[in-house]
Structure 1
Amino acid sequence: MFSIAIQQQKYKTYILSDEIAGSQLEVVPERGGMITRWRIQGQELLYLDTERFAHPDLSVRGGIPILFPICGNLPENTYTYNGQTYTLKQHGFARDLPWQVTEQVTHEKARLTLVLNSNEQTRAVYPFEFQLAFTYELQDNTLEIRQNYQNLSSTPLPFSMGFHPYFVISDKNHLEFVIPSNEYQDQRTKEISPFHGNFDFGLDEIDVAFKQLTSQSASVVDNNRKLRLTLDYGKEYPILVFWTIKGKDFYCLEPWSAPRNALNTGEHLTVLDPGTSYQASVKLTANFF
């Protein structure tokens, strides 16, 4: 049995439930349209910094923020289009703006669709007309995020897209990684290193990009919790980013469609013709063993 309830917490929160599986998903449209919690049988899967979440002027650290129209940051937070320079902060604006709920379905799965339209605020930093429609689907122990990107401009629409899931973890030393690549690039130094399935969690920060992916699936096993998280992504996402900070109870495994600064360099940039749309999908599965 599936249901969608609405609770007025700090923000209006939509709670999607698969009651037989004991799976629950919380979505907050006005806080970047983001998923803030995901629980299976009472077990929390996502990290959330509740203090930052409660402060509307701060970007949320936790849940599953949406990255659009860029992933990562731009040099000096700027890019040039048609000879004009624009300022766009890290990961873009979709994760900070209110989204609108357009559809709720509880037949065969719990499904919630949210929309973000271009507006005066977005046009000031990104001079295009667009509509994003994201559908969150919860069934059993699986969460799928279906995305539709639509160009409503009379000019081509350049963008990159991604997600920034924060997974909760008490001891990173119990993690095992299956990532379909044998090398990664440090996002700060640009140094490329071989990957043998583990990281040095003694470092203050790890911020690396896997750019040579050989399949559309990656997984992380938390042997402490007996939990395997599997991330499946379409070929629209040729990059996986891993990020964590020492002393913080989270790690992030992020599907990106393009690397940092793609809006300036054009590398892996998605460009939509006027009046066309583009679909993508990301799926997360949690299995306790």
Structure 2
Amino acid sequence: MYNIAVKQEEYLTYILKDLDSNSRLEIVPEKGGIVTDWTIQGQKILYLDKQRFKNPQLSVRGGIPVLFPICGNLPDNLYSYQEKSYILKQHGFARDLPWIVTNQDTDNGANLTLTLTSNPETLKVYPFEFELNFTYKLREKQLIIEQSYHNKSQEKMPFSVGFHPYFFCGDKTKLTLEIPAQEYNSKTGDKTYSFNGELDYNLDEIDIAFTQLQGQTTGFTDGKRNLKVEISYSDLFSTLVFWTLKDKDFICIEPWSAPRNALNTGEQLNYLQPDETYTAQVSIEIY
């Protein structure tokens, strides 16, 4: 049995529930359409820094932020289009803007559809008219994010998109990573290292990108909590970024459609023709 409720705290929050499996998901449409919380039988799946979340001057650190129309950062936050320069900050603007709830139902899941459209402010930094429709579907121990990207402008629209899930993890030494790649790149992209499944969590920060993927499923097993997370993604997503900070109780495994700075380099960059729509899907399942 599925249920959708709302609560008003700092922001209006939608609560999706699968009552049979005791799976509970919270989404805040007006703050970037972000998933802020997911628990299954009382066990926390996602990490959220609640103090940062309450501060509108700080970027959210936690939940599942949406990255669009870029993933990562651009050098000096700049790119050029038709001989004009634009400033676009890290990960784009979708995670900061209010999304609109355009549908909700409990047909074969607790389902919530959110929509984001271009506006005069987005056109100043990204000169394309667009419409995004994301449907979050909670079914038992699985979250499915169905996505639709529509180019409403008269020009071919370049874009990249990604998700930045923060998974709660109390002891990283008990993790077993399952990433479909044999090498990764440094954050700057100038060095490549072989990957055997192990990382040094004593480093202050790990920020690496897997760009030569050999499959469409990734995830990890948390031996301490006897929990497995499996992430599956459409072929739109060509890059996986792993990020964590020392002494913080999270790891991020992020499906990106293109590596950082793709808007300048063109690497793995996607394009939509005028009036064209592209659909994709990411799912996260817990075992």
Instruction: Note whether the superposition's TM-score is higher than 0.5.
Output: yes
Cα deviation for residue 188 of structure 1 reads: 2.9
Q: Distance in 1 between matches of 2:165 and 2:260?
A: 17
1:1-289 equivalent positions in 2, closer than 5 A: 1-188=1-188, 190-287=190-287
Instruction: Report how far residue 57 of structure 1 moved.
Output: 2.4
Query: 2:238 & 2:253 partners in 1: Cα distance?
Result: 13
Measure, in 2, the Cα distance between the counterparts of 1:12 and 1:188: 38
- Superposition deviation, residue 176 in structure 1: 0.3
Deviations 1:258-283 (A, max 9, x none): 01111011111111000110001000
Q: Which whole-Å CA distance do the structure 2 matches of 1:275 and 1:8 have between them?
A: 37
Which residue identity does 2:167 align to in structure 1? F
Q: Where do 4+ consecutive residues of structure 1 move more than 2 Å?
A: none
Q: What's the offset of the Cα at 1:9?
A: 1.3
Q: Distance in 2 between matches of 1:250 and 1:219?
A: 13
Q: Please say if residues 32 and 94 of structure 2, whose CA atoms lie closer than 8 Å, have aligned partners that are also in contact.
A: yes
CA deviations on 1:7-55 (whole Å, 9 max, x unpaired) are 0011000000000000011000011001000110011100001111111
Give the distance between the partners of 1:237 and 1:80, measured in 2 at CA.
24
Q: Which amino acid aligns with 2:63?
A: G
1:140 Cα shift? 0.5
Is the contact made by 1:188 and 1:207 (CA closer than 8 Å) also made in structure 2?
no
Q: Could you tell me how far apart the structure 2 residues matched to 1:219 and 1:59 are? A: 25
Contact between 2:132 and 2:147, CA under 8 Å: does it hold in 1? Answer: yes
Measure the CA separation in 2 of the matches of 1:273 and 1:280: 16
The offset of 1:83, in angstroms, is 0.4
Q: 1-side partners of 2:121 and 2:25: how far apart?
A: 29
Q: Deviations over 1:203-237 (max 9, x none)?
A: 11101111111110012000000000000011110
Task: Using the TM superposition, give the Cα deviation of residue 191 of structure 1 relative to its aligned residue in structure 2, in angstroms.
Answer: 1.1
Residue 125 of structure 2 aligns to a residue whose secondary structure is coil
Q: Partners of 1:219 and 1:265 in 2: how far apart?
A: 28
Coordinate RMSD, CA, aligned:
0.7
- Secondary structure at 1:124's aligned position in 2? helix
Q: Aligned AA for 1:27?
A: I
Counterpart CA distance in 1 for 2:219 and 2:88 is 32
Structure 1, gaps ≥5 residues long: none
Amino acid at match of 1:216: Q
CA distance in 1, matches of 2:100, 2:79: 28
Which letter does structure 1 place at the counterpart of 2:206?
I
Letter in 1 for 2:112: L
Report the Cα distance in structure 2 between the residues aligned to 1:114 and 1:199, rounded to whole angstroms.
Answer: 36
User: Contact 1:186–1:208 (CA<8 Å) still a contact in 2?
Assistant: yes
State the aligned residue count: 287
Q: Could you tell me how far apart the structure 1 residues matched to 2:247 and 2:121 are?
A: 36
Question: Contact conserved, 2:166 with 2:251, CA < 8 A, in 1?
Answer: yes
Give, in whole Å, the separation in 2 of the partners of 1:67 and 1:184.
21
Q: If the length of structure 1 is used for normalisation, what is the TM-score?
A: 0.98
Q: What secondary structure is seen at the aligned counterpart in 2 of 1:243?
A: strand
Letter in 2 for 1:31: K
- The percentage of aligned residue pairs carrying the same residue is 54
Q: State the TM-score, normalized to the length of structure 2.
A: 0.99
Task: Tell me whether 187-196 or 65-74 shows the greater mean CA deviation.
Answer: 187-196
Distance 1:255 1:189 in 2: 17
Shift of residue 189 of structure 1? 5.7
